[in-house]
Amino acid sequence: MIIVSSITHKYTPSQCADFVTENEFGGKGTLPLDTCVGIDKNDERLSESCNGQETCHYLLEKKIQKLGYDGTNCDFVSNIANINYVCIPNRMKKPYKSFDICDPDGPDTIIGLDSGFLHSPNYPNYYGNNRFCYMNVGIPEGKRLVIYLLTKSMESLGFFDKKPTDYLIINNEFEIFGTSNRPYILFNSTSKDKIQIKFKSDWITSVQLRSPKGFLIYFESMYMN
């Protein structure tokens, strides 16, 4: 399946290139007119159209960019777009290994694997109540770890306190909850030698969860560019 990581809108060679200075773009000096300098900007419509699909057709539109917006150095009309994407497995199957985050016989840290799946207990069936589990994913030296959240179907916010009831949490930094079929990049870093993924569910199921239930993650270690 396709996962779009970023889209860079660019200007045509006749626009703006003369204004690029050595200090503005990494000490490379003024760029030639046939070089397009872009700005990284997430395009939700593109992600919604393409993410999770095996093939994708998307109509790009001209975009008007203004001086200073997202780092642009002048006003220009974008006629070009560079789309960065990856293709990953769309389901758990050999030769990829898969891990239940609550498996008592599973590893504390997944090491020695360049790729694999991590999922909620009993996936694709209901994960159960009162679960609190974690598993680490090691990052090999010289590589970066990318984690893709392929699907999630978990309870969302509590009715009274408006706090997540069932959720994932990455390195104690942010919580992932609710329902989505649109896969996206959850983590992309080389900052640690391993990352920790926790899963928690509360004591009761108060909403109807769709199938598959729980979450499915695909992780991949790759050499840094």
Residues 109/194, Cβ–Cβ less than 8 Å: yes
pLDDT at 103: 97
pLDDT at 71: 56
Residue ranges per domain, the chain?
A: 2-87, 98-223
CATH 2.30.130.10 is the classification of domain 98-223 = no
pLDDT at 161: 74
Q: Which residues pair with 144 in a beta bridge?
A: 222
CA 48 – CA 81 distance, rounded (Å) = 17
Q: What is the mean pLDDT of each run of 10 residues along the chain (225 residues)?
A: 82 50 44 45 74 87 67 65 87 91 96 94 96 94 91 85 89 90 87 89 89 95 76
pLDDT at 29: 43
pLDDT at 47: 80
Query: Dihedral angle at the C-alpha atoms of 51, 56, 57, 62, nearest 10 degrees?
Result: 40
Name which of 82, 84, 135, 81 is nearest 113 in CA terms.
Answer: 135
